[in-house]
Structure 1
Amino acid sequence: MLDGRALIDAGATIVLCVDEYPFPAKNNHFCVMYPLMTLDGKRLDPTPQSFPNRSRTWWMVRDDHVENIEPGSIWVAQLQEAKGWAPTDPKSDQYEVRWDTVRPDHNVIEIMDFESAEPDLSFVYEERALNWSRSPANRVFLRGQDSVVGPFRSEWDSQARQVRLSIRSGASQALRIPRPLFDELAPSHTFMHTVNTYDKSRRNENHEITLVARSELDMGLLRQHATEVDCRTDQDIVRTAVRQASFSRSERSEMKSLLNKLEKANLQDDISERLRRINMNVISASDRAEQISAQLGEAPEFKELIQAHIDATTADRVRDEVARRETTIQEELASLDATRGKVKRDIESLRKQYETKLQQQERDIKQAQEKQKHSLDERQKTLELREQEVVQKESEFIDRLERMTNEYRNQASRIGDEVLLQFPIIERLLQGRSASSAPADDDALVPDWAVKPQTRKRSRSKISERDFIDQLAEVSRERGFIFDREDLVNYHVSLKSSAMTVLTGGPGTGKSSLPRLYAEAMSSREQFLQVPVRPDWLDDRDLLGAYNPLSRRFEPSSSGVVDRLVTAGMDYENGRDGLYMLAFDEMNLARVEHYFSQFLSILDNPPSQRSVTLFPAGITSSSDPYSAHRELIVSPNVRFVGTVNLDETTHFFTPKVLDRVQIVRLRSPDVSQVQDGTDAVDIAGLEPVSYGTWESWIKPVPANSAARGLLVRLDGVLRKEGIPLNGRKFQQILRYIACADGFLSEYTALDMQVRQRVLPGLERNSSTFDATVQELEAILPSDKLPRSHALLRRIADSHAEYGYFQYL
């Protein structure tokens, strides 16, 4: 609830109702006012707590306002603390209106209610006064039970207690709106107020006041749903009809014959109907006048007076008429000659005006036709666009429904599989056996890595790094894929410099296939694992697995990640060869920071500190092969790769994820170079790449480089934006530049890293965004860093809050 103090602090202007007539005191006039609402339509409903002490305010009235003030009238003003307020005086009020802000009620519109279905407009047509209990607002709507008509101006006669209604100057039409629609489009507030509450010399009067704030009333919207009502007065209607029927002067003098002729004239329907009603009123009044005249004429005294008056009037009129006609004839004879010449000149002038107006009218008609045609064309385009939007939304809805249906089916299947897995345990319990007793086929639960160690020892390959890139491109072509060589180099260098790389790009760019092709080019297909991410993954148990308390065993997830990481660790520890690549397909179908949380926390740790916890210590049985891997090591020979798609079913990466990954955008292939790929299991002639060789391609970060200075300048700008380059990201960028040596120039490598590692953190919703963009553009010139500069411009020119991937 708004109180007086809050309204004063906000400098708000409010609507008030006068509670009593002004009374003199100390050479001034005062009155009490009742607060109703704010100008933006908020009810106040004052109480002794919000407006101490009487739920009222004082008004020290200016002399020029005294005559216009009476109980129930509406005013607007601002409040201030009353100087003489006494909290213990029950007749004292804490707030008063500022006398210099008081003005009439031009910011509100009042609703005048009628009990009839339609408001009675005869008061407007006949310019009659309407009896009313109080002074209404200056602008009113008339509301019947079925419809509402307005707006009208109101003029209050305080002596007669009547109000006169009229249409605004220069207008002839009012709006008629169905009442339910008006009540919906024009939110109103009804106040039940008793005036003269504190004036014991006058009786109390109860008033019902219904107001609409002008700020809440959209007249343009009302006109769209309203019909127009002719609200001209009867006098205006008669004048219009006379002009349309072309009456002579003698015909205008006879009102009854005039109206009869007007009824027979071919006039507009609404004017004819009004004229019939006016004619009936005139005939009725004329008949009553004739009856009164006939009765007076029968009185002897009146007959003598009439005869004497007729004689005197006749003589005077005869003399006046003779003199007038003599003068008129002389004047007319003198002016006829002058008039003849003037008529000729007027005819010539009118002819020229007619020709000019005709030409202008033709031009206006042509312009109007062109404008109308343009408007129709625009409407047609708008309709076509809306139809396309409807079709698109319908298609999207169907796709979403199908995806949700498939998801529910998959979840049902998963739940069923989980229930089936518990059947052996339940069966053993029913047969009286311990739930933790080992099944007869315990050997079947032993993973392959526990009984089949790898045999290939770590070695060095003869292939060079540049030849390997050529071999990767050749494998891709053999399998039917075409990648830009710069994209292959970017992906290769990202794998060397970062533990996690994310691939993005449009459909058909080969995001999901490139990790598999890379493993094939290294002859490490056995070490490659494709992990399809499910949208129902909630935490790392869906990715890794969970401890089963009934069997006292760790049960790995069907994703295969745990077994692959155990194998990778054993190979690395025992000097066996192989680069293990785990590819998460559509990894943003679920929230990465949830199911991949443990890995995000350790990826940048030293190799000896990179481990994830599978289960608490001391809870597994001695026969569980995973008991030795409670802290699962992520060895240096492991690389994580993810692919992302962007639609309404996926999740954007959080800053925590963006801060830790390399983001590589794959360009769309040149379709003219795409060929069918081979289905052969193996491609002949490939040179295997050992992990030792691959590891030797990782180069140390140089102590000094030109990139360091530019990164320091970037950090200075980004710190003001609240997204500084932390030490981890700084070192990863320098490591990427070092590993790109021999393939990319230092500035090209830096350009890619600013695009992949720095700009993902930039957000448009920052208050300093525009200033930051200007500073970054100065540091990232388009001639040296074209990729970063172009992406920065796309982010800056966009007016929507997109995620980083949608700018790529």
Structure 2
Amino acid sequence: MSKIVFAAREFAKSNLGWFMKTRQTIGEASGRERAININRDVFDVWFPNKGEDTSPEKIRTRYFDGNQLIQGLHEIVDDKRTIRNQGGGKNWRLAGDGIQGDWYDVRLGDLMLMAFDTASSILAWVVIRQGGDSSRSISAKEESVYQRVHAELGDGNRNMWIIPPLRAARISSIISDIFPKSGELLMLDKAMQTEWEAALDEMGFVVGNNVDLRLPLSLKAKRFVILSGLSGSGKTLLARSFTKWVTESSEQYEIVAVGANWISNENIVGYPDALDRERYEKTKALELILKADRDRSKPYFLILDEMNLSHVERYFADFLSAIESPSEPLRFHYDANGRAGVPSNIASLPSNLFIIGTINVDETTYLFSPKVLDRANIIEFRATGEALSGFLSSPVNAKSGVIESKGAGFGVHFVDSANDDSAVTVADPLVAAIVRGELVALFDLLSRYNSEFGFRTSLEILRYVEFFRRTMDPIVAEDIGTFCRTALDTQIMQKILTRLHGSRKKLAPILNELEVFCVKHHRWASVPSSGQDPREILINIDELSPDENISSEEGLDPFYSLSAEKIKRMKSKLEEGFASYAEA
């Protein structure tokens, strides 16, 4: 995973000239000044192995289109530049044409937040302008953002200096008021994942099958995730660890043990006392929901432990509907004036409330209905040899307390991402074409058995792929195949196979076809198809149909390895006459 280095700059006259409009402002000849100074201590962090080498460094730069910003649009420009040595090795400058657009009429004292990806040499930045100059119009909202950012940066080095990732995340959450896509521009998804993985290493928590990556991605794609697997495999620990890491205090999460006697939503939202009109029997879950409703910028987490000890539909049906109807009110009771501080309803299920359920599968639990499974990302926990080996080499009792609140700076960005409607569009055109083609091919396969998925599943898969892309961005051309393979394998596992259960007669033909689809290696066109049929991207689609030999090509693993292994286990369970996704 790449390391993102964040830096800040307060503009002085000596480094204003790079922005095109500013040349006019400070009287420089148009087009003459073409560089912005990079402090040597910052440069050394960006390029730690540079040493005395003074040869130019080629980089990519990302920033908002200045002309579009004036129109309220937040289009990201991606271009190429160089960083060149000046002054005998002491100074470095970012070279290239000036940035056009009235927005980049940069003045003294304006602030610049920068993010540099050391692995891919991408430099991204955003400029925060201040008011007080009568020759330039700045809104009161923008001036307020500037003052808040200035206060967050403090009174340290006012030229250019490194800032910690969590401070950068807090600043990004501030400027998101005027730059809604600032988190995406500054690669916060990638930075957040790097910090989260470091936190797990710090607490000694070993996980397999990339579930540490899949949990935050799944929560951003859909705010309802279920962790399924063996007792003691780390489901609740992972859920508790992430929530503690990304929240500021214990007020933002609640772990509720589901009881076998839960038969109504009163176990979640409580109920009004029938004898005392001034009293309401509250629950921990209800109190968390009301806190989230009052504070919608920060993330709140409801963890339902052993969720399938009772029939989920009996106590959770209202929430299943609310998750899919974000504009509909969520009702608690029918007293118009409220009871003991509990309103009769709230406008909607809070968009900053994330629900994580854990389930064990044994003779004491219930199977989930398709309605529940279709509304969640299901992450299966299985002990892998690699994870077990890593644990045994250094066995520790992992405790989430050591990482508590260390990722809280990413909290607002996490909420913003989960509510980013634009994430249904996969930004990379080739990745988007491959995903569309694979989903249509899967749909055709399942529809032959009346088991096809719908628009909701497709939308959530697209969101997962886009958030995964942002976490891995940039994806170089030669890695697109591996990226698509990993992303689709995860989503077939979490969103497609979860819907399958039934008898041998019903399920065997579907699993046979799916096994071929997941084992055989797919070949994709190198460019997006120009035709109307998205399946054209799949060059060898005719080979992905049942035959007598479903082994991988010689020397190669199954194409969608997670899904293929799961299908084999489900087929094995069919020998007993019935199989479902959840396993004991």
Give me the TM-score of the superposition, normalised by structure 2. Answer: 0.54
User: Contact conserved, 1:614 with 1:632, CA < 8 A, in 2?
Assistant: no
Q: For the residues of structure 1 that align with 2:446 and 2:400, how far apart are their CA atoms?
A: 51
Is the alpha carbon distance of 1:807 and 1:542 closer, same or farther for their aligned partners in structure 2, counting shifts above 3 Å? closer
Q: For the residues of structure 2 that align with 1:684 and 1:727, how far apart are their CA atoms?
A: 38
Q: For the residues of structure 1 that align with 2:400 and 2:278, how far apart are their CA atoms?
A: 41
Q: For the residues of structure 1 that align with 2:227 and 2:398, how far apart are their CA atoms?
A: 24
Verify: 1:717 aligned to 2:450, yes or no: no
Verify: 1:509 aligned to 2:228, yes or no: no
* SS at structure 2 position matched to 1:549: coil
Match of 1:537 in 2: 262
Q: For the residues of structure 2 that align with 1:754 and 1:586, how far apart are their CA atoms?
A: 24
User: Contact conserved, 1:541 with 1:557, CA < 8 A, in 2?
Assistant: no
Verify: 1:624 aligned to 2:352, yes or no: no
Matches within 5 A, 1:52-451: none
AA of the residue aligned to 2:242: Y
Q: Which stretch of structure 1 is more off in the superposition, 507-516 or 770-779?
A: 770-779
Q: CA deviation at 1:534?
A: 0.9
AA of the residue aligned to 2:341: P
User: Contact conserved, 2:244 with 2:404, CA < 8 A, in 1?
Assistant: no
User: Contact conserved, 2:298 with 2:415, CA < 8 A, in 1?
Assistant: no
Is the alpha carbon distance of 1:678 and 1:745 closer, same or farther for their aligned partners in structure 2, counting shifts above 3 Å? closer
Q: CA deviation at 1:550?
A: 1.8
User: Contact conserved, 1:585 with 1:644, CA < 8 A, in 2?
Assistant: yes
Match of 1:736 among 457, 464, 485: 464
Match of 1:615 in 2: 333
Q: For the residues of structure 2 that align with 1:689 and 1:677, how far apart are their CA atoms?
A: 27
AA of the residue aligned to 1:550: L
Q: CA deviation at 1:502?
A: 0.6
Match of 1:654 in 2: 369
Q: For the residues of structure 2 that align with 1:788 and 1:597, how far apart are their CA atoms?
A: 29
Match of 2:219 among 481, 488, 495: 495
Q: For the residues of structure 2 that align with 1:480 and 1:604, how far apart are their CA atoms?
A: 37
Verify: 1:789 aligned to 2:564, yes or no: yes
CA RMSD in angstroms comes to 3.0
* SS at structure 2 position matched to 1:608: coil
Q: For the residues of structure 2 that align with 1:504 and 1:547, how far apart are their CA atoms?
A: 34
Matches within 5 A, 1:586-597: 586-597=306-317
Match of 2:511 in 1: 773
Match of 1:562 in 2: 286
CA deviations 1:626-682 (Å, max 9, x no partner) are 13x424631111110010011221111111111111111223232224443587955
Match of 1:639 in 2: 354
Q: CA deviation at 1:474?
A: 3.3
* SS at structure 2 position matched to 1:640: strand
Q: CA deviation at 1:690?
A: 3.8
AA of the residue aligned to 2:303: A
AA of the residue aligned to 1:536: N
Is the alpha carbon distance of 1:800 and 1:524 closer, same or farther for their aligned partners in structure 2, counting shifts above 3 Å? farther
* SS at structure 1 position matched to 2:233: coil
Q: CA deviation at 1:755?
A: 1.1
Among all aligned residue pairs of Structure 1 and Structure 2, give the percentage whose two residues are the same amino acid. Answer: 24
Q: For the residues of structure 1 that align with 2:306 and 2:249, how far apart are their CA atoms?
A: 20
Is the alpha carbon distance of 1:478 and 1:554 closer, same or farther for their aligned partners in structure 2, counting shifts above 3 Å? farther
Matches within 5 A, 1:670-749: 670=388, 671-676=391-396, 683=403, 686-697=406-417, 700-702=423-425, 704-741=432-469, 742-743=471-472, 745-749=483-487
Verify: 1:583 aligned to 2:583, yes or no: no
Q: CA deviation at 1:617?
A: 4.3
Larger Rg: 1
Match of 1:804 in 2: 580
Match of 2:59 in 1: none
Match of 2:108 in 1: none
Is the alpha carbon distance of 1:673 and 1:459 closer, same or farther for their aligned partners in structure 2, counting shifts above 3 Å? farther
User: Contact conserved, 2:271 with 2:282, CA < 8 A, in 1?
Assistant: yes
User: Contact conserved, 2:504 with 2:577, CA < 8 A, in 1?
Assistant: no
Q: CA deviation at 1:685?
A: 9.8
Q: CA deviation at 1:801?
A: 4.2
Match of 1:271 in 2: none
* SS at structure 2 position matched to 1:643: strand
* SS at structure 2 position matched to 1:603: helix
Q: For the residues of structure 1 that align with 2:215 and 2:405, how far apart are their CA atoms?
A: 23
Q: For the residues of structure 2 that align with 1:497 and 1:685, how far apart are their CA atoms?
A: 23
Is the alpha carbon distance of 1:549 and 1:750 closer, same or farther for their aligned partners in structure 2, counting shifts above 3 Å? same
AA of the residue aligned to 1:545: G
* SS at structure 1 position matched to 2:519: coil
Match of 2:32 in 1: none
Q: Which runs of 5+ in 1 are unaligned?
A: 1-455
AA of the residue aligned to 2:468: A
AA of the residue aligned to 1:535: A
Q: Which stretch of structure 1 is more off in the superposition, 786-795 or 637-646?
A: 786-795
Match of 1:753 in 2: 491
AA of the residue aligned to 2:565: A
Q: For the residues of structure 2 that align with 1:470 and 1:484, how far apart are their CA atoms?
A: 17
CA deviations 1:40-61 (Å, max 9, x no partner) are xxxxxxxxxxxxxxxxxxxxxx
Q: Which runs of 5+ in 2 are unaligned?
A: 1-169, 176-182, 427-431, 473-481, 521-557
Match of 1:472 among 179, 196, 205: 196
How many residues are treated as equivalent by the alignment? 343
Is the alpha carbon distance of 1:750 and 1:568 closer, same or farther for their aligned partners in structure 2, counting shifts above 3 Å? same
Q: For the residues of structure 2 that align with 1:529 and 1:601, how far apart are their CA atoms?
A: 21
Q: CA deviation at 1:788?
A: 1.4
* SS at structure 1 position matched to 2:330: strand
Give me the TM-score of the superposition, normalised by structure 1. Answer: 0.39
User: Contact conserved, 1:519 with 1:525, CA < 8 A, in 2?
Assistant: no
* SS at structure 2 position matched to 1:615: coil
User: Contact conserved, 2:570 with 2:581, CA < 8 A, in 1?
Assistant: no
Q: For the residues of structure 2 that align with 1:773 and 1:684, how far apart are their CA atoms?
A: 43
Q: For the residues of structure 2 that align with 1:476 and 1:802, how far apart are their CA atoms?
A: 38
Match of 2:379 in 1: 664
Q: CA deviation at 1:745?
A: 1.1
Is the alpha carbon distance of 1:712 and 1:642 closer, same or farther for their aligned partners in structure 2, counting shifts above 3 Å? same
Q: For the residues of structure 2 that align with 1:765 and 1:684, how far apart are their CA atoms?
A: 46
Q: For the residues of structure 2 that align with 1:578 and 1:645, how far apart are their CA atoms?
A: 30
Q: CA deviation at 1:514?
A: 1.1
Q: For the residues of structure 2 that align with 1:678 and 1:766, how far apart are their CA atoms?
A: 41
AA of the residue aligned to 2:321: S
Q: For the residues of structure 1 that align with 2:486 and 2:393, how far apart are their CA atoms?
A: 26
User: Contact conserved, 1:565 with 1:632, CA < 8 A, in 2?
Assistant: no
AA of the residue aligned to 1:487: V
Match of 1:548 among 242, 255, 273: 273
User: Contact conserved, 1:740 with 1:749, CA < 8 A, in 2?
Assistant: yes
CA deviations 1:541-563 (Å, max 9, x no partner) are 122111223212462443x1111
Q: For the residues of structure 2 that align with 1:766 and 1:510, how far apart are their CA atoms?
A: 32
AA of the residue aligned to 1:587: M
CA deviations 1:221-273 (Å, max 9, x no partner) are xxxxxxxxxxxxxxxxxxxxxxxxxxxxxxxxxxxxxxxxxxxxxxxxxxxxx
